[in-house]
Copies of this chain bind each other. A is one copy, B any other.
Amino acid sequence: MTPIDLAAAEVDTPKLGRKRDHTRDPEILAAALDVLAETGYDRMTIDMVATRAKAGKATLYRRWASKAELVIDAVACMKNAGIDMANLPDTGTLRGDLVANIKPHSIQDGDRKIHVMAGLMSMISCEPGLADAVQSAIVEPRARVNRLLLQRAIDRGEIPADCDMEKLSLLVASMAMYRTMVQRKTANREFLISVIDELLLPAVGLRP
């Protein structure tokens, strides 16, 4: 490549002709998440994603430099997927808030996130950016909701202020992850409510 070619390559002048179609990017990322959740990072191939998204492999590589970048992007775009922090339920009791938060949609979203995490588990320690992406897109949003609901309960004097908010906010997620990954059962509504009633509420001194 001559210096002239280099200069031409550096300047991006996409003025004439068809523009790149970015409308299908979300579909591709969704396909990537599906394959990831089903088969895990290492066994997932670019071909699988392309086929599922009904796109060419070359199209994927035009947008993401590598498999790793595609996956990181896909995980990042799950952020706040099933959570609207704006209008959380406010029922007046901790149990009411927690239970109201268990909707079919959020159960399904949580299940998907756990499966994605399982698919990334072995890879998460190699790829540095991956741990961050998982943390901020999967783990943190859920924990934030629980922290808020707990804080409300503290503010209204329903539960003691010196409770271990950090562990409490991760309790349901931990049990759901264990149930899904290890016991290979689904963390359905019944299970989640049972964790709340048998573990979380008793732990803060509330007998349901």
Shortest beta-carbon distance, A200 to chain B, in Å?
8
Would you give the 0/1 interface string for A168-200, flagging 1 where the beta carbon is closer than 8 Å to chain B? Answer: 101101110110011110000000001100110
A135, B164: Cα distance in complex, Å: 31
Identical copies in the complex: 2
Residues on B with beta carbons closer than 8 Å to the beta carbon of A12: none
Chain A count of residues within 8 A CB distance of the other chain: 41
A184, B194: Cα distance in complex, Å: 27
A105, B123: Cα distance in complex, Å: 27
- Chain A interface (Cβ < 8 Å from any Cβ of B): 39-43, 117-119, 121-126, 131, 134-135, 139, 163-164, 167-168, 170-171, 173-175, 177-178, 181-184, 194-195, 198-199, 202-205
